[in-house]
Structures are given as C-alpha cells and as structure tokens.
Structure 1
Amino acid sequence: MSETTATQYALVGAPLEYLTPLERPTLAEAQAWCRELATTHYENFHVATFFLPAKVRPHFESIYAYCRVADDLGDEVEDRGVATRLLNSWGSMLEECYDAPERSMHPVFVALHETIRECDPPRQLFLDLLHAFRMDQYKTEYESWEELLEYSHYSANPVGRLVLWVCGYTDETRALMSDKVCTALQLANFWQDVVEDKERGRRYIPAESMLRFGVEEGQIEGRVFTPEFRGMMQELVVRTRAMLIEGGEISLHVDKELKVVLDLFRKGGEAILNGIARQDFDVLRGRPVVSKARKVGLLMEALAGKVRAGMTS
C-alpha cells in the first residue's frame, strides 16, 4: 500500500471515532455504524427517519454519516491545513466508493456503496458537500445575500436533492423547490447562531445588509443590540421565511410518506424563525430555541399526518 493510500485509509489527525478500521466491515456492520452515528449525533434526523419506509432508512443513514463525518473533519479539527488534508482524503475515499468499491474500508463507504448501487445518486452531490466544508477552511465572512446562496448551493442543497433521489424523485423541478427549503433552513440556522458563529471567527450576516442598516462589525462580538440591528435581522428573517414558504410547495408533489418528513423539517425551520421574532429579533442576547412544547407539537402533527396517510411503521 502506498504512503498516500495508507494516509487516506488511516485519516491521520481525525477524531478517533472516525479512524478507518484495519479490517473491512460487513455491510450489516457498516450500516449499524452509520445508524449509531445518525441516532446519537442529531436527534431531529433520527426522529424524521421514523416516518420513512424502513427500506429507505439505511440509505438516509449512510448519507447522513457521510455528511456528519465530513462536517466534523472540517469543523472539529483545529488546524485548517490538517482539516483540508482530511477532507481531501475523504473525497478520495468517495471516488473509490464509486469507482472501486471493493477497496473501501471505512464503514461509511461500505454502507454508502449499497445506496449508490441501489439508487445511483449523482456523485457530484457528495462532492459539492465537500466543497462547502473546504470553503469553511478559508472563507469566514460573507459580503452579500448572493454569496450566501452560493454557499448554500454546496452546503445544504445537495442534502435535499439526495433525499429526493433515494425516494425516487430525480427531476429538476422538485429539486429546485427542495433547494429553496434547504437554503432557507441553512439561513435560519445562521440567524439563530449569530453569536456562536462569531465566537468561532465566522460571520454569515451579509456585509451589505450591515452597511445598509448601519450595523457595525463590533456589535455582534459586543452584543450591542440597536434598532438598526433589529431592522436588519427582521429583513433577513422575512426573506428567509418567504423562501421557506415558496419551497414548501414541494410537499404537494411527493408521496404522503415523504411529505410528512419534508413538512417536519420545514416547520422546524419556521419554528426557528418564529423564535427569533419572539425575541424581537435580538439574537445577540441569547440563542433563540424551539421550545420543547413546540417540538412535541411538531411530532404530534407528524404522527397525525402519518395516521391520515395510512402509513405503517
């Protein structure tokens, strides 16, 4: 094995739980690994997959595992040079998963190949996600709304398109509606995490919005809330909500089972935006959260939708 391949398989410098095993796992072992990652790292994803047919859940879990590991390689590794190297290795392992799957050793790619074999999702969607994680290594501020949309094209939209693809929807019309929902969800998370992102050295509020409303850079770090800041955040939330509603039309064009899942995520995004509005758009005083009562309400609505659709668990 060459030095490059050895480094690729070892993922030297990655979090320990993501290191490649010395022996290739079976498909069942690999899928169990992905399921464990999905159910322990992101509760909302685990809940959402409950409403899907059992036959597609492993595909969702393998896609999530790919995204989760890649995200952590870029975000949890402090040295940006090391993070970039790890992301490049992850990309090489993806290419191998498509071109020479029998050589894949990491559980993510052993499991993901089954998704590729059964559903044939476009390779570029996975590569686009990696491009976003690489962008995070060098781009920490955004100048315009258009730049945010471009970033979301790589960071968020591929996930929605992959979800549609494994459910049998491969047309561009539905994909474009999905893009709007995914971008809006990404933006809602940005507006929710303004202070936390600033502490990580990142600013997703567009500089053009700050300039137009007269908001200074230091107000975020200093948590100085002003009427101008309020006006800026209100405009950003209004634009994001409009995008979320427009893209939400996709629920009218998918089967009832997938509609429940898409509605759940869309309503979760709306709940974030509503939480920001309830704080009078003051995201500097604390992170707006979705209350437990609202989360329970969303789940009850989803369960009711599942019953109405005559689904089986």
Structure 2
Amino acid sequence: MPPDRTANCIPSPSTKVEHYENFPVASLLCPPALRPAVAAIYHFARTADDIADEGNANPPERLAELAHYRADLELALTGAEASPRWCPVFAALTHAVNDHALPATLLRDLVSAFEQDVRYTAAGHPYRDTGELLAYSKLSANPVGRLLLHLYGIDDRNSLAQSDDICSALQLINFWQDISVDLPRQRHYLPSDCLKRHGLSRDDFMASAQVDAATDKRRAQAVASLCHDARERMLRGAPLAKRIPGRAGWELRLVVQGGLRILDKIEAGGFRTWEHRPTVGKLDAPRLLWRALWMG
C-alpha cells in the first residue's frame, strides 16, 4: 500500500457545501462506517462540478483547472499529496480509495463528464437525442451509483444495470427540472429529436419567447414526454432499493422517491419548467417516507 502523505491535510468537519440538493447525501440513513467514503465521493464530484460551472472563469480557464484537478486525482489514487488548493477534498478521497479500493475508472469518468459539460456549453452543443444524453449520464451520474454499490459489496450485473437506470433517471429529471436555469446559461439538454417531433426549437423555451397557444401546448407536451421517459427508467431501476439490505436500502428508497416526487411536481405544474424550477423540501419528507415504506 502506498504511504499516506495526507496526514497533514485533514478535511474540516465544519465544511459546508451550500448547494440545493434534491436528495440527501451521507444522511443519517447511510451506514455510519461508509459515511466518510460517501461524503468524500460527493465532495470530490461537487468540487469538480463547481470548477466547471461556478464563478466567472472562461471555458479555457475551466478546462485548465479541471486538468489540474484530474492530475490531483491521479496523485490521490497513488496516495501522493495533492496540491494545497484541493487538499481537503483529496485527503478524504485518498482515505476512501485506500480503505475501500474505489474503482479509479469511475472517479476519472466523473471528471470527464464535467470537462464535456464545459466544452459542450462553450460550443452551444445541442444533444441529438436521449441516447446522447444517456452517454453523458454514463459519465456524470452512473459512476456515483456504481461507486456506492462497490461500497456495499454489490457487483452483480442486474444490480449494476438497475443502478444505472436510477442514476440516469436522476440525471434526466435534473435536466427537465432545470430548464429555466440551464437555457439562459447556454446549456442545451433538450434533445433535438424531441423538439423536432413537437415542432419546437430551443428558443421557444426561453423566458423572452412569445408563442401562440398551440406552441405553448406543444412545449408542455414535449417536457411531459421527456419526464415520462425518466419515470419509466426510475421505475425500472427501483427494485434495486428493495434488494439492498439495511440502512443503505432505505436511503436508496428515499432517493428513488425523491426523484419521483420531483416528477410529480413537474406534472402538477403543467410541465412548465421553462417558467420555474420545482424543488423538494422538508415538507415533502413525510410523503417520501410513506412512499418509501410502501415500496415493499
């Protein structure tokens, strides 16, 4: 085992990540022995996301930062000391890698997803279809589920496939939840084939768009079809939550129900997420707990 060079770089227990999240991270339901590793994975991914998305840096600057971040990941994978800037993130991740033999490829995929996001946003890249979005989810979302299954000691093919369905569904739900946020930032996740089927363009979803009643109806129908696809994927993966034992299984039940609850709210709002972003909050907790209990 490589020497531990992170002893002088201990993550602060008071570190607070100030981001809205649909779902709990390393919550009380997460098995206590795994909570540090789950938190380390989360902070690793969130920090990379912030490099790609927050602040005023231009795309070349963001890509350069992500390249440095990737280099620090490679150091962490060997137990070497990371740069001071991200020392707390990689100190925790190094311990998780050492303690749980986290698959390096999955961690590298997450960085690749954020690099792709920067490049695609800079180019105004339109996603052709759901298949291209799922290829992105394979890098951006599915690795998280597979890392968690690795921590739980689960690696059979069916479980991995269901985990991918849940994680891809969560990624798609986030896209359709955030249309009003993403489009003004030149993030074009609405797939071109769906827009074409409904006789729409991305400009029709901008806040400044002036559309007639027929176009307005087609906008809602397009979002509804995308949400229907995401719901089907979530339901296809949901049985995994019933097979994972103990607290981890209950947490996954809540994650599944959280995603479905967002879809419910999108539907209740007439699928008009180009106007406002629905969220889950504390008031939704009793409903989520009840639904999780009745998953069987």
Q: Distance in 1 between matches of 2:198 and 2:22?
A: 35
Q: Distance in 1 between matches of 2:281 and 2:151?
A: 32
Alignment of 1:46-65 (within 5 A): 46=24, 49-65=27-43
Give 1:168 deviation, angstroms.
1.8
Q: Distance in 1 between matches of 2:276 and 2:175?
A: 14
TM-score, length-scaled by structure 2: 0.86
CA contact (8 A) 1:80 1:137 kept: yes
Show CA shifts across 1:213-234 (max 9, x none).
1112321113546111122111
What fraction of aligned residue pairs are identical, expressed as a percent? 32
Structure 1 280/301 Cα, relative in aligned 2: closer, same or farther at 3 Å? closer
Would you say how many aligned residue pairs link Structure 1 and Structure 2?
278
CA contact (8 A) 1:160 1:178 kept: yes
CA contact (8 A) 2:23 2:258 kept: no
Q: Which runs of 5+ in 2 are unaligned?
A: none
CA contact (8 A) 1:66 1:108 kept: yes
1:72 counterpart (27, 47, 50) = 50
Give 1:165 deviation, angstroms.
1.0
Structure 1 45/273 Cα, relative in aligned 2: closer, same or farther at 3 Å? closer
**1:194 paired to 2:179:** yes
Give 1:131 deviation, angstroms.
0.7
CA contact (8 A) 2:127 2:192 kept: yes
CA RMSD in angstroms comes to 2.4
Alignment of 1:149-228 (within 5 A): 149-221=134-206, 222-223=208-209, 224=211, 226-228=216-218
Q: Which runs of 5+ in 1 are unaligned?
A: 1-22, 309-313
Structure-2 residue corresponding to 1:251: 241
- Structure with the bigger percentage of helix: 1
Structure-2 residue corresponding to 1:129: 110
Structure-2 residue corresponding to 1:4: none
CA contact (8 A) 2:205 2:219 kept: no
Structure 1 124/24 Cα, relative in aligned 2: closer, same or farther at 3 Å? closer
Structure 1 277/123 Cα, relative in aligned 2: closer, same or farther at 3 Å? same
Q: Distance in 1 between matches of 2:40 and 2:242?
A: 27
TM-score, length-scaled by structure 1: 0.82
Structure 1 301/240 Cα, relative in aligned 2: closer, same or farther at 3 Å? closer
CA contact (8 A) 1:148 1:204 kept: yes
CA contact (8 A) 2:77 2:97 kept: yes
Q: Distance in 1 between matches of 2:46 and 2:65?
A: 14
Q: Distance in 1 between matches of 2:286 and 2:15?
A: 23
Structure-1 residue corresponding to 2:261: 271
Give 1:49 deviation, angstroms.
2.0
Show CA shifts across 1:90-146 (max 9, x none).
1111111112x1433512111111111111111010110111100111213211111
